[in-house]
Structure 1
Amino acid sequence: MPQLAEDMMENALAERPTPVKASPPAPLSEGPVLRPGRNVWRIEHAPRAAIIADGANYFGALRRALIEARETIHIAGWDLDSRMKLVGPEGTADDGLPETLAAFLSALVARNPRLRVRLLLWDYSVLFAFERELTPIYSFLWSTPPQIELCLDDSLPLGASHHQKIVVIDDAMAFSGGLDLTRRRWDTSDHVPDDPRRIDPTGAAYAPFHDVQMAVDGAAASALGRLFRDRWKRAACERLPPPRRRVTTDRWPEGLAPDFRDIGIGISRTLPAFEAEPEVREVEALFFDMIDSAERQLYLENQFFTCERFTERLIARLRERPALEAIIVVPQGYRSWFEHQSMGAGRARVLQRLDASGVADRVRVVFPQVEGEGEGDAASAPIMVHSKVTIVDDRLLRIGSANLCNRSMGFDSECDLVIDADDADERAAVLAVRDRMLGEHLGLSAEEVGAAIERAGSLTALIDNAAPAKGRRLVPVPREGEADMLIGIDSLADPVEPIYEERPEEAARNPRKRWLVALGVAALVVVGLLIAWAYSPLSEPERIIAALDSIAHRPWAPAFMVGVFIVAGFLIFPVSVLIVATVALFGGWTGALIAGIGAMASALATYGIGRRLGSGLVRRFIGPRINRIRRRLTESGVLAVATVRMVPVAPFTVVNLVAGAAGVRFLDYTAGTALGLLPGLVVLTALGRQIVDVISQPSLGSVAMLAGFVVLWILVSLGLQMLVARMRGRA
């Protein structure tokens, strides 16, 4: 009965509030700012809460907390890197355990076999492939003990990302904010320009980096544990139970001083609408409500400042409150070409809007800079601002993952923690955190900042008149035009609404619209991949054909190609690449027949391996996402297998292994696989060797033709799906 009662309570707590509409919320009436169902999911008690600035301090505190884990470690991130060094300000570990993340977690479960580690990583866009570890499945799943599981989470609309950065230990201790456990995040609060310890796993140095995380314990940590389990259930189709018993041992890391005690923690989320799940826009509502409650001072740190609706709300409040002033700390610029193009134009627009608003004299948009040992501007280095901090007067303090951009308001998943100070002690603590943040950028202590603000009479006067101390200063952000930026790319990369956006009632009225959008996006993706393919070392079809051309006319060549398909299946080599090569090599229908036989042989061989290994070992190979694939495969026999082939939820070999391990009937599997492969074989046969010419030497006409065939491929696939569904309905 106690377990049943706990399950019922968790189910009740998991119910989502009515989502906030996409239009900006109306101003609050009198009363508390934090309101469940409007701008926060829940407000939970935390015996302790601490604000941790910069990666070195966070990683050191997190390492000490992880060592005390007894039952569960749950980590959700935009990115994870097995090679990152989880070490504190010293740059090394002195606890006798490995320094790198995967090895450290492996050592923890080796010491405590009851400990379970679950990693939830966004199944990221190809645009970020070269900024990340290329083989997280191998690094975190195959090369670690079985108590460590990695799930790649793609349960999001097209183009969206999972942006939450959460660590929960035994549902008793949690961290949330802007810091992922990945490369190029470690830095001390000194931000020394040429710190030799600030190198990534490849040995390359990177610029000074600033970010902020919040630590909480008690019921607030338990609520973040619930948030993680909800996401895991959605991504892996698997319900995780809460810890088996109430944690009595203190998990608070030694040496981490709390900034607040016995405080209420609001948890605010963004979750885009997906499948049957409604959208949640608490993050957006909280931003607007915090602005509307500001009276005297606003302090913000944020990586991206592009949201025009937020800017309009800020300008309106500045006009309403003549005494209100704002400090906005952002990066000087953006690291990559893609970030510059996608976010630079938006920032230029909102800065122009601020400058023309008539209230710019009370706003400072600045970036932090640190000077090295040399002389002049060449010795100075801008500090990369990755933090997401909002502090309103001496009352509201917010730390999270959400940027001041359109994506964070309703497109990506986000998680922010917020405190509404009630009494004098809590308000003093809010100001102390703000002064500590400003002091880090100005080279002053929190006490010196407080005294300087009192003397100057305002935040803006402090920024304008502060003399550089310890080589630190805040510098006005230069205004940029949009001349060097590609038109329209920012509207795709930072959309106001999801690019697929469609309400359920609209879908019912216009069911064709969604298919047309999907086909258009698919065509654009194909064109982009083809162009990238042609100018990269990944043009395998041409290389494979060159290697195999000499044997194409041998009598044993067809059997050899079938063997290549089987071997490639065990190596998880893309079957579509082999089909292209085979059709182009042998030509026309002969190549299609050989490719079809080879693909079927590979599918049956890996199906047999999956049947032999069983679901336990296959799960170890694939991870918890096996549940989603298995559910899709076992829903409706032949139709399910054919659908997964035509609209794949996982690579070809992975589907084969799961089908075998899940016990999908052999006849259903064989017939569904043949049916699912048919559209692709038909299209590739029609194109013949032309497809290789399109890939190796693309022109506008040839790429357009291939994109048209891909659209035809999709239409044929959909038509076959509907035909099979109708036949099954009649049966």
Structure 2
Amino acid sequence: MSAPGPPFTDLSPIVVEGRNCWRIECADKARMIVDAADYFALLKRLMEGARERILLIGWDFDPRISLTPDGQGKGEALGHFLLRLAHREPDRDIDILRWNFGGLKHLLVPRIVAMILRWKATRAISFRLDGAHPVGCSHHQKVAVFDDHLAVCGGIDVGARRWDTRDHHDDDPHRVAPDGKPYLPWHDSTMILAGPVGNALADLGNERWQRATRKPLRELSGWGENWPDDLPADFEGVDVAISRTRAEYDDSGEVREIEQLYLDMIAAARRFIYFENQYFTCGKIAAAIAARLEEDDPPEFVMVMPRTADGWLEQVAMDAARVRLVRAISKARHGDRLKVYYPRTAGGAPIYVHAKTAIVDDRLIRVGSANLNNRSMGLDSECDVTIDAGLPANTEILPTIRRLRESLIAEHLGVDPAEVAARFDDNGSLIATIEALRGSGRSLELLDLVAPGPFDEFVADNELLDPTSPDAMFESLAERGLKKSWRRGKAWMKRRRPFR
């Protein structure tokens, strides 16, 4: 692998409206927010500053959590905070939409039911459940919009067991769930955006609200919430692409922009793709990576993931499929250019990776809700935002994307970002950089690719819990599976469009 040369000067856009994204809109300002401690604190301020509407859309929403927990993991509960906001500004709408099936378990928790009833009695708060999707699908977007102008889009749910700092300290006393139990460190990411792209995400939120409730959100005056004065922006005056996944339902057609963008990113990469993702079970994506690794001088692929999925069912469905796919990719001619790591604390505890971030060649950064699994490609409602240096307005952003990548890798390795930068400048290899800086204590550990047992292998190979589409859930075992998804990926790579 040769040392990195000067910044690219011949980039064509990877994002193309109508192909792999819904809309491309300007962001007056944008900033990546890493880990929920910073996001929750910011979210609290944004909600307090909103003038006409707070719109929260998500897979999970837990009114028991504190956005700014104290040293015992306690603080003002989110539900009480929203009531206080509603009473202080009764003409400001607080609209909350969460996935319906995931919310059913909360009906068994008296504290949550009591809070929802109090919300129902408050004119300014509207709490609704989203069931506008086929059976077996979920509403997985994580979007917040303030006054139809300022928006947040990413992977962080406003739920329990999400709060953590970038330090990921062992036994952090702030890291306590609503049931009083401590939980392991959690890594996540999202992005705040202002300007026309915020208006676009407001349109997406309004569309989703209408789909779920059959009623539109009320029109706003449009004067909007301003960007916080003390929040530095990573990007200013850039164009941002919004990509979606949506299953066909009622009169709405299927949308697979997110899958297409992943494939186009893999096809366009020259030096590397850095992924942070919760799952890797999509055979189509895996086959596209394997096809690149058959080339003479392919890019590197680095994945930072959880050591194991969160929950027994997810471990059966996702961990075995991940092992099967990574082992298959390793058989490619340059299979050693894929490495899968998981982060650990100074004390050796695994840090759970829930982020859905991707960086290509330091020329494109993508943050959103979509995992590298089949569900995020065709079943669940998803939303990602991407900033691509190939767009004419974005030609100056390469140093910023590089800085964000160095910061993420340094966080996981427990080193200074300058060390990551220096190593990469020396060797030109993302893998060599990580391998040189890995060590004891806080660091990245190579994923142990232990062969799955017969039951786990059967579930994974047949995609029983991670189907490629709503219809696939009802196909026979002979018509579905990882091998079929893999073949689709290989076929796509043979006819992919060229990138300069």
TM-score scaled by structure 2? Answer: 0.87
Equivalent residue for 1:156? 133
- Structure showing the higher helix proportion among its residues: 1
User: Which of 58, 61, 64 matches 2:45?
Assistant: 64
Q: Which runs of 5+ in 1 are unaligned?
A: 1-29, 373-379, 503-512, 517-731
Change (3 A) 1:486 1:55: same
The answer (yes or no) to whether the contact 1:58–1:88 under 8 Å persists in 2 is no
User: Which of 120, 139, 142 matches 2:118?
Assistant: 142
Equivalent residue for 2:273? 298
**Where do residues 49-88 of structure 1 align in structure 2 (5 Å cutoff)?**
49-87=30-68
Change (3 A) 1:445 1:425: farther
The answer (yes or no) to whether the contact 2:69–2:174 under 8 Å persists in 1 is no
The answer (yes or no) to whether the contact 1:405–1:494 under 8 Å persists in 2 is yes
User: Which of 498, 520, 533 matches 2:470?
Assistant: 498
Change (3 A) 1:245 1:47: closer
The answer (yes or no) to whether the contact 1:175–1:214 under 8 Å persists in 2 is yes
User: Which of 466, 474, 481 matches 2:451?
Assistant: 481
Equivalent residue for 1:624? none
Q: Secondary structure of the residue that 1:76 maps to in structure 2?
A: strand
**Where do residues 354-393 of structure 1 align in structure 2 (5 Å cutoff)?**
354-372=329-347, 380-393=348-361
**Where do residues 241-320 of structure 1 align in structure 2 (5 Å cutoff)?**
241-247=218-224, 250=226, 252-320=227-295
User: Which of 385, 388, 391 matches 1:420?
Assistant: 388
Q: Secondary structure of the residue that 2:397 maps to in structure 1?
A: helix
Change (3 A) 1:67 1:188: same
Equivalent residue for 2:402? 431
TM-superposed CA distance for 1:457, in Å, is 2.9
> Which 10-residue stretch deviates more, 226-235 or 320-329?
320-329
**Where do residues 630-669 of structure 1 align in structure 2 (5 Å cutoff)?**
none
> Which 10-residue stretch deviates more, 489-498 or 35-44?
489-498
Equivalent residue for 2:204? 227
Q: Distance in 2 between matches of 1:334 and 1:151?
A: 29
The answer (yes or no) to whether the contact 1:89–1:188 under 8 Å persists in 2 is no
Q: Distance in 1 between matches of 2:194 and 2:215?
A: 26
Q: Distance in 2 between matches of 1:281 and 1:468?
A: 40
Q: Distance in 2 between matches of 1:387 and 1:101?
A: 22
Q: Secondary structure of the residue that 2:340 maps to in structure 1?
A: strand
Of structures 1 and 2, the larger Rg is shown by 1
Per-residue CA distance 1:20-44 (angstroms, 9 max, x = gap):
xxxxxxxxxx942211111000001
TM-superposed CA distance for 1:484, in Å, is 5.7
Per-residue CA distance 1:472-497 (angstroms, 9 max, x = gap):
21110001222163465442210022
Q: Secondary structure of the residue that 1:222 maps to in structure 2?
A: helix
Change (3 A) 1:480 1:216: same
Structure with larger RCO (C-alpha < 8 A, sep 6+)? 2
User: Which of 83, 105, 109 matches 1:129?
Assistant: 105
Equivalent residue for 2:303? 328
Q: Secondary structure of the residue that 1:319 maps to in structure 2?
A: coil
TM-score scaled by structure 1? Answer: 0.60
TM-superposed CA distance for 1:424, in Å, is 5.4
Q: What amino acid sits opposite 2:363 in the alignment?
A: R
Q: Distance in 2 between matches of 1:495 and 1:317?
A: 25
Q: What amino acid sits opposite 2:190 in the alignment?
A: Q
Change (3 A) 1:86 1:420: same
Change (3 A) 1:197 1:135: closer
Change (3 A) 1:313 1:133: farther
Q: Secondary structure of the residue that 1:59 maps to in structure 2?
A: helix
TM-superposed CA distance for 1:359, in Å, is 1.8
**Where do residues 541-690 of structure 1 align in structure 2 (5 Å cutoff)?**
none
Change (3 A) 1:427 1:226: same
Q: How many pairs does the alignment contain? A: 460
Q: Which runs of 5+ in 2 are unaligned?
A: 1-10, 477-500
Between the aligned residues of both structures, percent identity stands at 38
RMSD (Å), alpha carbons: 2.4
> Which 10-residue stretch deviates more, 236-245 or 81-90?
81-90
Q: Secondary structure of the residue that 1:425 maps to in structure 2?
A: coil
Per-residue CA distance 1:353-385 (angstroms, 9 max, x = gap):
12222322212110011123xxxxxxx101000
